[in-house]
């Protein structure tokens, strides 16, 4: 009985001691985090926004405001930026809705919760590191030091403190818990305890938390998943024992790899309801490849090893992230930890070290191994410095272990060896008790020495990147300090005089927490500009450093062409073209009619510009735009409300006096362009049209697919004309027969076969100079590949075409060589065909009638030639041919409809007058598979096709309209991204729930014969493992 009481008393003391240590340690963690970043809570740091920390924080907060307006409904569509995008499926959303829920459940505002979560990210992550280290390494002192080392390194903070990448930063919180629960499950599973309820709980927690991390930030979740698989494989594969050989190690590593991969698959399946549509939308937004960065761009956002070590000169070279560095004491003890891990052959620490080196390799390889980045371009576009996520968690653990092991190896290791020899001999009980007491004293002494050593290193080994004397420091927001996020100097003060600082601990001004984000620039624009539900604005990329776009949606529902979250754009290439025309100074974009054309296409009313930077006089004033004098005077005399470096607001607003707005209704001709999108064929035609080939007011262009036979005859018949440029087909005979029927019924077809290797009928690939037979529909029978020299001299036109000044054309040349063309001989003209452009006997363009329709053939590759330098004279020349060829209808814009927006996902158009002839409705929001169009007339509801027109907008054809008819547009997910994805998530959830409750009866892991056999083999060998390996 006395022994039981003594044991109980001893265990109670140990428990209370550990609990006290835990409380004191976590109190210290919270204190250090508070000293570093209490300014995140009081909102006094970021002068640009006034209440938030980090560049992107304003945008993250605007998402909260947007979705909070509709919650619990979740709109798929966001119409206020980028001419319409889906933010829900292109941006991490978990924290957005967490803030919304917390806001609605409490009396705190969204701003307050945003700042609170921004701050607690760091102590919560440190607590997770503490728990993992304590439970898996079984040492609280190492755990405390690891948590503090995480907080010391500036690299840990900068995702949020400098860049405002809120979701990515918060994803750090779950990395250590995922690893902890997975390790606890593994330990029990390998002991044949996988069916215990606690084991099932640990597995479910691992799967659930990893899945949640994917929802918080997809790349953060992906990095955690990769690290988990690597950890599992290494922990299995690196174990050694008396009867364990290399072959068994490799098999064991594979087992661990497969088991962790299964956990990852289940996590992804659990969150499929969001991850599947996210993946689909990401591919859609990247269809132009513009979200995949070049190797040079990837290098700019990658990390140099010198940067991580804190020895990279700030602002040197092209690298944007040369200020991500680990604290010097952390790096010193990390090196010590690496050396001691390999010396002592500690498999857990070696596994962590290998994972750290692997992810550092990922973060730096684009700079040192660009060929690897080129090979996996999209992967490195997504990852770049985010590969640091596992490193930020594990490097402090290895460093903390190194600090303890360094001292312990000098004191405890010799003592242990001596006592082991003594224990082999028979000793009296009092001597054994004394040895235990001495060892406990030595452990306390080592703990004190280690903590003192760590404190000394923090005080004396402080280091920060060297300044660059040739670099303008104003380009950096903060003066980077040796430790933490460089927001305050309170930690330095604490190191110098902790007692005084603790007595006068910095307070939070609670009165500032409740301030709502009222973006002054956006509010001023709303007050001065006449904005309604159809008004479209654009903002110069030079205006206010992105502050205007971050505030979109906070003060009004104004619509902007610009987009802060540019990865989500569905018209990315056209947006870049528009930005070049509106704000570029390059000679290529100086044609004023380009600005007029794009103003019409985008329906623009206002442009927010920057004097002395944007081409106000040469473009806007020259094309009839007018300045908003009162607003401009007001703006230019404002105080620097966006920070001390801004001076005035530095912006002016100009107005288009005749904007088309969000919607246009017209009976003008609509032309289908069949071209290879990957070769930018449609873009070439669109730009040529802007230069005069087919102006907005004459005809509308529709972007088609590459192949002619992708379209049925009924679909072709919807259009007034078709243009083939860089086209293809699946079946030549069928494709041209279909076009023949289309033209004979009155269609008008323009075909350019002069794009070598891209246009399907450009010529004979094996022998370009030989004849190539063309389809019967075309006005010439065959062509051959040749050129007309490097001059237009001698080129003649048909008499009914307007005279041309060939000197204004760009030379028919490419990189000094003649411009290749598909040319026909005059003898190759079909009966009834007439040449339009020729030189001597070489026909370059011809026309003829087929049935009730017309066909024009060109072998010039004229659209590509126009696009070399955006030659306006060439565009206008082509316009003299195409506008009369296609424009046979009324080209005015119609009225007689009302527009209502019931929700972001629903747009309704009701008609109040009859339209007997077919009419086209252009809705200036990005076309996407989400949109569905239904025409409602009386009791009838007809589904209509949606076409992608102009820069990429929604276009719908209505064959006849009477008063009271409606066109309904709705954004909905398709089957795969909607119902199927949700079903996968639901099945996975029910499966996991059943496994948790019923255990072995639905054991989907141990019933896998392969896994079961692997586990048995592992158990047969486990007896030979070292007792220090915790049985796995």
- Tens digits of per-residue pLDDT, 734-753? 999 999 999 999 999 999 99
Each residue of 17-66: pLDDT tens digit? 788 888 888 889 988 888 887 777 765 544 333 445 555 677 788 888 88
Residue 578: pLDDT above 50? yes
Query: What span, in angstroms and rounded, lies between the C-alpha atoms of 872 and 596?
Result: 13
Helices (H), 461-611: 490-496, 498-503, 510-513, 520-528, 547-550, 572-583, 592-602
Q: Which of 636, 658, 680 is the last residue of a domain?
A: 658
For the chain, give the mean pLDDT. Answer: 83
Query: What span, in angstroms and rounded, lies between the C-alpha atoms of 211 and 223?
Result: 12
Mean pLDDT of 171-192: 87
Residue 95 belongs to some domain of the structure: no
| Nearest Cα to Cα of residue 957 among 735, 737, 667 | 667
Query: What span, in angstroms and rounded, lies between the C-alpha atoms of 525 and 546?
Result: 15
- Residue bearing the bigger pLDDT, 639 or 837: 837
Residue 251 belongs to some domain of the structure: yes
- The verdict on 967 and 988 lying in the same domain is no
Residue 102 belongs to some domain of the structure: no
Each residue of 696-721: pLDDT tens digit? 999 999 999 999 999 999 999 999 99
- Residue bearing the bigger pLDDT, 4 or 871: 871
- Residue bearing the bigger pLDDT, 655 or 428: 655
Q: Which of 933, 953, 971 is the last residue of a domain?
A: 971
- The verdict on 207 and 241 lying in the same domain is yes
Least confident piece of the model among 191-205, 347-361, 664-678: 191-205
Which residue carries 């992906």 as its tokens? 222
- Residue bearing the bigger pLDDT, 431 or 22: 22
Residue 132: pLDDT above 80? yes
Ramachandran category for residue 548: left, alpha or beta (phi over 0 → left; psi -120 to 50 → alpha)? alpha
Mean pLDDT of 780-785: 96
- Residue bearing the bigger pLDDT, 632 or 870: 870
Each residue of 292-315: pLDDT tens digit? 888 888 887 778 888 788 777 665
Query: What span, in angstroms and rounded, lies between the C-alpha atoms of 859 and 754?
Result: 4
| Nearest Cα to Cα of residue 119 among 44, 48, 64, 42 | 42
Q: What is the dihedral of CA 116, 118, 122, 125, to 10 degrees?
A: 90
Please name every residue paired with 671 in a beta bridge, in sequence order, or none if there are none. Answer: 701, 721
Residue 366: pLDDT above 60? yes
Residue 507: pLDDT above 80? no
Each residue of 830-862: pLDDT tens digit? 999 999 999 999 999 999 999 999 999 999 999
Contacts of 1016 (CB under 8 A, 6+ apart): none
- The verdict on 723 and 841 lying in the same domain is yes
pLDDT at 701: 97
Q: Is the distance from CB of 616 to CB of 548 less than 8 angstroms?
A: no
Radius of gyration for the chain, computed over Cα atoms and rounded to the nearest angstrom: 35
Residue 122 belongs to some domain of the structure: no
Ramachandran category for residue 161: left, alpha or beta (phi over 0 → left; psi -120 to 50 → alpha)? alpha
pLDDT at 420: 65
Mean pLDDT of 765-788: 93
Residue 62 belongs to some domain of the structure: no
pLDDT at 995: 87
pLDDT at 470: 57
- Residue bearing the bigger pLDDT, 513 or 84: 84
Q: What is the CATH number of the domain that holds 678?
A: 3.40.50.880
Which residue carries 């007491």 as its tokens? 437
Contacts of 933 (CB under 8 A, 6+ apart): 943, 944, 945, 946, 954, 956, 967, 968, 969
pLDDT at 556: 72
- The verdict on 529 and 636 lying in the same domain is yes
CB atoms < 10 A from the CB of 163, how many? 17
Residue 488: pLDDT above 80? no
pLDDT at 545: 56
pLDDT at 3: 59
- The verdict on 681 and 809 lying in the same domain is yes
- The verdict on 1001 and 925 lying in the same domain is no
The number of domains in the chain is 4
Residue 970: pLDDT above 70? yes
Residue 631 belongs to some domain of the structure: yes
Buried b (16+ CB within 10 A) or exposed e, 389-416: bbbbbbbbbbbbbbbbbbbbeeebeeee
Q: How far is CA 649 from CA 347, 481, 526, 653, 734, in A?
A: 58, 30, 15, 12, 61
- The verdict on 708 and 773 lying in the same domain is yes
Query: What span, in angstroms and rounded, lies between the C-alpha atoms of 202 and 194?
Result: 10
Q: Is the distance from CB of 819 to CB of 773 less than 8 angstroms?
A: no
196: part of which helix (H) or strand (E)? none
- Residue bearing the bigger pLDDT, 396 or 471: 396
Mean pLDDT of 449-475: 73
- Residue bearing the bigger pLDDT, 166 or 68: 68
- The verdict on 648 and 673 lying in the same domain is no
Residue 944 belongs to some domain of the structure: yes
Query: What span, in angstroms and rounded, lies between the C-alpha atoms of 998 and 854?
Result: 73
pLDDT at 242: 52
Residue 719 belongs to some domain of the structure: yes
pLDDT at 477: 43
Residue 622: pLDDT above 90? no
pLDDT at 430: 53
What range defines the domain where residue 599 resides?
520-553+562-603+606-658
pLDDT at 249: 66
- The verdict on 581 and 681 lying in the same domain is no
Question: Please, which contacts does 128-132 make with residues 24 or more away whose CB atoms are closer than 8 Å?
Answer: 128/173, 128/174, 128/175, 128/176, 128/177, 128/180, 128/393, 129/176, 129/393, 129/396, 129/397, 130/25, 130/26, 130/29, 131/176, 131/177, 131/180, 132/176, 132/177, 132/179, 132/180, 132/397
Least confident piece of the model among 321-325, 385-389, 971-975: 321-325
Q: Using CB atoms within 10 Å of the CB of residue 418, give its burial: 0 to 12 exposed, 13 to 18 middle, 19+ buried.
A: exposed
Query: What span, in angstroms and rounded, lies between the C-alpha atoms of 346 and 398?
Result: 11
- The verdict on 875 and 932 lying in the same domain is no
- The verdict on 646 and 685 lying in the same domain is no
- Residue bearing the bigger pLDDT, 933 or 241: 933
pLDDT at 150: 94
pLDDT at 927: 95
The helix-helix angle for 197-216 and 981-998 (nearest 10°) equals: 160
Residue 345: pLDDT above 90? no
Residue 518: pLDDT above 80? no
Each residue of 249-291: pLDDT tens digit? 677 677 778 888 999 999 999 999 999 999 999 999 999 888 8
- The verdict on 630 and 773 lying in the same domain is no
pTM score, whole prediction: 0.86
Q: Which of 824, 855, 886 is the last residue of a domain?
A: 886
The DSSP line for 662-705 is: SEEEE-S-EEEEE--GGGTHHHHHHHHIIIIIS-TTT-EEEE--
> Sorting pLDDT into bands at 50, 70 and 90, what band is 762?
very high
Strands 953-958 and 947-949, by their bridges, are antiparallel
Q: Is the distance from CB of 218 to CB of 92 less than 8 angstroms?
A: yes
């Amino acid at each position: 009985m006395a022994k039981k009481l003594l044991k109980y008393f001893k265990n109670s003391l140990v428990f209370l001691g550990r609990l006290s240590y835990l409380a004191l340690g976590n109190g210290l963690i919270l204190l250090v985090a508070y000293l570093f970043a209490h300014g995140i809570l009081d909102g006094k740091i970021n002068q640009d926004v006034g209440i938030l920390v980090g560049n992107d924080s304003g945008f993250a907060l605007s998402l909260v405001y947007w979705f909070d307006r509709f919650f619990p409904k979740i709109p798929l569509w966001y119409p206020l930026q980028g001419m319409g995008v889906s933010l829900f499926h292109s941006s991490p959303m978990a924290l957005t809705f967490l803030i919304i829920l917390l806001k609605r459940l409490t009396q705190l505002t969204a701003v307050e919760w945003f700042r609170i979560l921004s701050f607690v990210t760091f102590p919560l992550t440190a607590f997770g590191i503490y728990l993992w280290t304590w439970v898996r390494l079984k040492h609280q002192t190492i755990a405390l030091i690891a948590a503090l080392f995480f907080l010391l390194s500036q690299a840990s903070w900068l995702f949020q403190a400098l860049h405002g990448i809120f979701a990515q930063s918060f994803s750090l919180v779950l990395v250590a818990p995922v690893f902890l629960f997975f390790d606890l499950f593994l330990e029990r599973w390998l002991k044949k305890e996988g069916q215990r309820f606690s084991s099932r709980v640990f597995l479910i927690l691992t799967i659930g938390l990893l899945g949640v991390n994917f929802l918080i930030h997809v790349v953060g979740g992906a990095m955690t998943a990769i690290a988990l698989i690597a950890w599992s494989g290494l922990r299995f594969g690196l174990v050694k024992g008396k009867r364990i050989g290399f072959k068994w190690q490799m098999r064991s590593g594979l087992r661990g790899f497969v088991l962790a991969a299964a956990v990852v698959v289940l996590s992804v399946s659990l969150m499929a309801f969001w991850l599947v549509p996210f993946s689909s939308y990401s591919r859609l937004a990247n269809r132009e490849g513009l979200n995949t960065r070049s190797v040079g761009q990837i290098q700019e956002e990658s990390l140099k090893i010198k940067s991580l070590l804190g020895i990279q000169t700030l602002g040197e070279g092209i690298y944007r992230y040369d200020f991500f560095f680990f604290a010097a004491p952390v790096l010193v003890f990390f090196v010590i930890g690496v050396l001691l891990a390999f010396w002592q052959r500690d498999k857990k620490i070696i596994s962590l070290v290998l994972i750290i080196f692997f992810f550092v390799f990922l973060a730096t390889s684009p700079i040192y191994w660009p060929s690897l980045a080129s090979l996996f371009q999209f992967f490195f576009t997504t990852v770049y410095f985010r590969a640091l996520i596992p490193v930020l968690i594990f490097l402090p653990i290895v460093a903390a272990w190194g600090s303890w092991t360094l001292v312990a190896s000098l004191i405890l290791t010799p003592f242990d060896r001596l006592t082991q020899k003594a224990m082999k001999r028979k000793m009296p009980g009092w001597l054994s008790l004394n040895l235990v007491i001495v060892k406990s004293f030595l452990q306390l002494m080592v703990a004190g020495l280690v903590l003192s050593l760590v404190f000394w290193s923090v005080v004396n080994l402080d280091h920060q990147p060297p300044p660059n004397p040739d670099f303008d420091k104003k380009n950096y927001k903060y003066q980077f300090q040796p430790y933490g996020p460089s927001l305050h100097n309170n930690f330095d003060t604490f190191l110098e005089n902790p007692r005084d600082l603790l007595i006068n601990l910095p307070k939070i001004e609670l009165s500032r927490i409740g301030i709502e984000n009222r973006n002054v620039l956006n509010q001023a624009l709303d007050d001065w500009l006449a904005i309604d539900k159809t008004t479209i604005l654009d903002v110069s990329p030079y205006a206010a450093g992105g502050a205007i776009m971050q505030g979109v949606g906070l003060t009004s529902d104004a619509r902007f062409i610009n987009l802060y979250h540019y990865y989500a754009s569905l018209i990315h290439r056209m947006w870049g073209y528009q930005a070049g025309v509106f704000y570029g100074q390059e000679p290529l974009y100086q044609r004023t009619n380009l600005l007029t054309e794009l103003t019409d296409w985008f329906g623009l009313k206002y442009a927010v510009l920057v004097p002395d930077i944007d081409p106000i006089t040469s473009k806007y004033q020259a094309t009839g735009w007018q300045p908003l004098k009162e607003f401009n005077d007001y703006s230019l005399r404002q105080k620097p409300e966006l920070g001390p470096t801004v001076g005035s607001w530095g912006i002016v607003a100009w107005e288009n006096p005749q904007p088309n707005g969000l919607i246009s209704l017209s009976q003008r001709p609509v032309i289908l362009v069949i071209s290879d999108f990957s070769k930018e064929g449609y873009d070439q035609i669109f730009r040529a049209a802007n230069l005069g080939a087919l102006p907005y007011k004459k005809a509308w262009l529709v972007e088609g697919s590459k192949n002619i036979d992708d379209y049925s005859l009924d679909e072709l018949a919807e259009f007034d004309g078709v243009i083939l440029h860089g086209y293809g087909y699946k079946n030549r005979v069928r494709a041209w027969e279909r076009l023949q029927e289309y033209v004979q019924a009155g269609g008008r077809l323009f075909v350019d076969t002069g794009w070598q290797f891209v246009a399907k009928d450009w010529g004979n690939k094996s022998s370009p100079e030989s004849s190539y037979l063309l389809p019967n529909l075309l006005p010439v029978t065959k062509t051959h590949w040749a050129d007309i020299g490097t001059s237009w001299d001698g080129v003649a036109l048909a008499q009914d075409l307007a005279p041309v000044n060939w000197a204004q054309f760009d030379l028919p040349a490419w990189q000094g060589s003649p411009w290749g063309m598909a040319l026909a001989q005059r003898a190759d003209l079909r009966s009834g065909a007439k040449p339009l452009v020729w030189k001597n006997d070489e026909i370059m363009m011809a026309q003829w009638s087929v049935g009730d329709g017309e066909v024009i053939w060109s072998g010039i590759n004229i659209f590509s030639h126009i696009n070399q330098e955006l030659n306006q004279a060439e565009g206008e020349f082509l316009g003299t041919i195409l506008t009369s060829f296609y424009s046979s209808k009324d080209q005015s814009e119609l009225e007689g409809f009302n527009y209502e927006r019931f929700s972001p996902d629903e747009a309704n158009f009701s008609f109040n007058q009859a339209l007997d002839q077919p009419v086209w409705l252009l809705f200036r929001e990005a076309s996407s598979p989400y949109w569905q169009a239904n025409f409602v007339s009386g009791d009838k509801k007809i589904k209509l096709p949606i076409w992608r027109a102009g820069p990429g907008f929604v276009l719908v054809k209505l064959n006849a309209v009477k008063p009271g008819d409606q066109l309904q547009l709705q954004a909905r997910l398709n089957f795969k991204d909607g119902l199927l994805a949700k079903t996968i998530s639901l099945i996975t959830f029910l499966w996991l729930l059943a496994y948790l409750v019923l255990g072995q009866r639905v054991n989907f892991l141990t019933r896998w014969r392969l896994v079961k056999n692997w586990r048995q083999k592992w158990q047969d060998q486990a007896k030979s493992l070292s007792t220090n390996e915790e049985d796995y």
